[in-house]
Structure 1
């Protein structure tokens, strides 16, 4: 677990095109940072995740995130790299319905 908030490098900016990049906080926005980085990042971005959050915390966050949040090829690779056997399941229709009810 990190104790100090790390600033995202400017190389992350393209991964967060729909967010105010300057307002992202590595702790408060941890889940979004992990999801976007796994989905759209490159190897250097993934290394930053591992170094910043630690493999144990990163693995736990990914396991507790519905698989539908990730692009299939990225999910397949990150599961292999972190040794994740089982993911939290949420069908896309459940996810869409939940968003409508918010």
Structure 2
């Protein structure tokens, strides 16, 4: 699949991109770019992973990193979902749910 470009370091801030693996760290990479990335970052994301892989990571492995507007953009515009996932597992304004 290739290496992660250095220009993504600002979006993937918690780990040095040299230490990330495109396959084993894909859920982290996908969520960080969906939640914080630019158009350029999103283009790289969709070139690197299939839309199906991105949707699966988003829906099966929720991450509480999304602002309400970004969550709505990802679910309604980017993925065109008719049935939205529970915001409480994604949106940062909700209290954290454990379990």
Q: TM-score, normalised by structure 1?
A: 0.75
Tell me if structure 2 keeps the 8 A contact 1:63–1:86: no
Any gaps of 5 or more consecutive residues in structure 2?
A: none
Equivalence for 2:22: 26
1:9 aligns with 2:5: yes
Equivalent of 2:33, from 28, 37, 43? 37
Tell me if structure 2 keeps the 8 A contact 1:15–1:40: yes
Task: Give the superposed CA RMSD.
Answer: 2.0
Distance in structure 1 (CA, Å) of the matches to 2:43 and 2:84: 22
Any gaps of 5 or more consecutive residues in structure 1?
A: none
Match of 2:9, SS? helix
Distance in structure 2 (CA, Å) of the matches to 1:72 and 1:65: 18
The structure with higher relative contact order (CA 8 Å, sep 6+) is 1
Equivalent of 1:51, from 32, 47, 50? 47
Greater per-residue helix proportion: 1
Q: TM-score, normalised by structure 2?
A: 0.77
Deviation at 1:66, TM superposition (A): 2.4
